[in-house]
Chain A
Amino acid sequence: MSEITYLEAIREALFEEMERDENVFCLGEDIGAYGGAFKVTDGLMAKYGEERVIDTPISEAAIIGAAAGAAHMGMRPVCEMQFIDFISTGYDMLTNYVATARYRAMLPCPMVVRGPSGGYVRGGPFHSQNPEAAFLHTPGLKIVYPATASDAKGLMKSAIRDEDCVLYFEHKYLYRRIRETMPDGDHLTPIGKARVAREGRDVSVITYAATVWKALEAAEQVEKEDGLSVEVVDLRTLLPMDDEAIIATVKKTNRVLIVHEDTRTGGVAGEITARINETAFEWLDAPVLRVTAADVPLPYSPPLEDYVLPQTSDIVLALRKLASY
């Protein structure tokens, strides 16, 4: 088996699931004949035809709403948001209709909404967003955000098979920058389970998506320069959150840094901090710290974007502060 990229891993999952289950179909803007803005769905229409790979009008609410209706009837739709930034125009459908369907009406909504997410790519305010926190607050949805190619594949396959709606964020910075050999066979990554990306004893970093790689870089650096042993936990799933994994690393290192690329106020890090506070306060030797983006729309120009987004050097600084507290 040869190595494939994060992007190819997502595509491989789509091919495998469409092959396995004829109820799986894809819909989105420019995903068929053109293969998608980033070519994630390249080749799908050639193999499965226009009926199962649907080029839609520019209508995120209709894409998500129609997926919900088809899902009620037993189909397994996979919706693409051309950029995840545009999921906001489907927010009502997702939060009011899809997320409540099982609870209020016993209507199943097994569907996936996926899209290229995140910054570090000079995409500006509307092609760089990380809107996961906007949905973390909605009971009835699940949220995954893989950091590795094998998780990208395994989480996509699990998301398609899940009985509920899964928002699948894929980081466009990672699309073609990382590659990995896929595990053999029908590779599924469980939803709701974090992974320890690096074992450590002194400080924990809890993070997900592209900043997993920044945390790993920072961990290497402080190990070399300061002799610190840093554990990095990759959440992989944000909703439902893996409380067990979070508490386990708190109890192991007693010092926690939470890193995410999204803005700070009302972000995922605040929720994790509150959970640690409620259930593992006595295990802490230092306050929980956050490294996140600044609370501004993400600017385009490189010096501005680099300043706003969390960088490896920011994580190094925070790790040193925590270790010496």
Chain B
Amino acid sequence: MARSGGAAPSAAKTRGDAGRVPGLSREQKLELYYYMRLTRSLEERLVNLYRQTKVVGGLFRSLGQEADAVGSAYALDRSKGDILSPLIRNLGSMLVQGARPDEIIRQYMAKGDSPTRGRELNIHYGDLVRGFIGQISHLGDMVPVMAGVTLSFRMRRQDRVGLVYVGDGATSTGAFHEGINFAAVQRCPLVVVVENNGYAYSTPLRKQTAAKQLVDKAIGYGIAGEQADGNDVVATYEATKRAVDRARAGGGVTLVELVTYRRKGHAEHDNQSYVPPGEIDRWASENDPIDRYGKRLLSDGFEQKELSAVDERITAEIDVATDAADASAMPEPTDALVGIYADPPAEQPLWFREGVKSAVEVHERPSGWGTHDV
């Protein structure tokens, strides 16, 4: 396996693409294509909205990494109540779990009816029912949290698995170490996906770790390790599926390293001046995960018009979502005071803001606001 961050895409990454996808139905194979395409097209729409200044904060892309997010999430079983916690380049994994394009756009546009009612940015949101928990910006912190989520599965004898994403950079944090070690000792049904895209902001992998490869870290924790070509959606799916099956069978934690490449900067503002010339173009022309999978499907008996139909359906879905998000209102300022605690349901306005008509004054508490009734 070639290491990313300066390396050219290796021949090994393309090996096996021509073969059949084992264990996946025709419908599932097309679904993988749908989620990867949806991820890319949705992000492209967000870029348009960003340039129109309709995106309030920064914009984070997963261009070239769609396969690792989609393929890994696809290995979970939604019917069993599996839960994942994505990172900033795992929009695709959330879509697999049922996140909707309009929610994503509302989040980026900071709308009052966005999933976090304007409190949090971008894809930082979750839904326990659909099976994803929103990340915070402190990298590595979701590993201990997902250790606890999966600890509860084990304690309650539930047939559920958890999956947490970290990047190559987050493997350097204390929280990553504490969380994965805790989960390993407790034999939690947890899959830790290390999405190695070569860069943490501007820092290449060689400045992040002296380890030869990140999957080696599994040995130190006494857990299973898997490594796969993260730009091959099927290889990603298969490696993660082995880890999910192991977790569900009581075999504990697996560290899955998915090797991929970040073709865009940390966020839209980042000009990637630190990337060696030609590196991005090589990955784009030789190792684009959607191009690779599209060719594979065509050689596997699919017709171009089937793929084109998926592309058209996605465009229509995103158009509808964009219009809906664009039309919705920004939050009421005083909504900022609702929901710090279960009781009281809202903070009182400070004295210099008294008299402001607000949800606070009527003690509005939205149903399901951080309660267990779902």
Contact = CB atoms under 8 A, between A and B. Distances in A.
Interface of A: 25, 51-52, 54, 56-57, 59-75, 77, 92-93, 96-97, 100-108, 139-140, 142, 162-164, 240, 278
Contact of A108 (B125, B150, B340, B372): B372
A140 B136 contact: no
A52 B155 CA distance: 8
10 contacts: A59-B182, A61-B179, A62-B179, A66-B179, A67-B148, A69-B147, A72-B128, A96-B136, A105-B134, A163-B371
For A51, A57, A65, which residue has the most chain B Cβ atoms within 10 angstroms?
A65
Given A75-B155, A106-B339, A59 B149 contact: no
B5 interface: no
Classify the interface of chain A: helix, strand, loop or mixed. helix
Contact of A62 (B155, B178, B370): B178
A51 B116 CA distance: 34
Given A57-B178, A97-B138, A104-B136, 13 more contacts: A59-B181, A61-B178, A62-B147, A65-B145, A65-B147, A66-B179, A69-B144, A72-B145, A97-B145, A102-B342, A102-B369, A103-B340, A107-B133
A271 to B, nearest CB: 15
A103 B155 contact: no
B108 to A, nearest CB: 16
Chain B binding surface, main DSSP class? loop
A70 B148 contact: yes
A72 B152 CA distance: 9
Nearest to B137: A96
Contact of B152 (A73, A104, A106, A163): A73
A64 B341 contact: no
Nearest to A109: B370
Interface of B: 116, 119-120, 124-126, 128, 133-134, 136-138, 141, 143-153, 155, 174-175, 178-179, 181-183, 185-186, 339-343, 347, 351, 368-372
Contact of B339 (A65, A68, A102): A102
B256 to A, nearest CB: 19
Contact of A65 (B143, B343, B372): B143
A92 B134 contact: no
A70 B134 contact: no
Given A66-B144, A69-B146, A108 B133 contact: no
Contact of B175 (A51, A74, A92): A92
A57 B181 CA distance: 8
A62 B175 CA distance: 7
A52 to B, nearest CB: 8
Contacts of A77: 148
Contact of B370 (A52, A66, A67, A107): A107
A69 B340 contact: no
A127 to B, nearest CB: 22
Nearest to B336: A103
Given A69-B151, A75-B155, A107-B370, A93 B144 contact: yes
Contacts of A108: 342, 370-372
Given A70-B148, A75-B152, A96-B136, A105 B120 contact: yes
Contact of B149 (A51, A60, A69, A92): A69
Contact of B126 (A56, A62, A105): A105
B120 A104 contact: yes
A275 B9 CA distance: 63
Given A54-B186, A104-B120, A140-B340, A64 B144 contact: yes
B7 to A, nearest CB: 33
Contact of A57 (B185, B341, B370): B185
A272 to B, nearest CB: 17
- Most-contacted residue by chain A among B125, B133, B339, B370 (CB, 10 A): B370
A61 B144 contact: yes
Which 6 pairs between the two chains have the least Cβ-Cβ distance?
Answer: A65-B144, A69-B148, A66-B148, A163-B342, A62-B178, A62-B182
B120 A72 contact: no
A59 B176 CA distance: 11
A66 to B, nearest CB: 3
Nearest to A107: B370
Interface centre among B133, B146, B151 (most CB of A within 10 A): B151
> Which of A93, A103, A139 has the most chain B CB atoms closer than 10 A to its own CB?
A103
A101 to B, nearest CB: 8
Contacts of B370: 101-102, 106-108, 163
A74 B153 CA distance: 11
Contacts of B175: 61-62, 65, 92-93
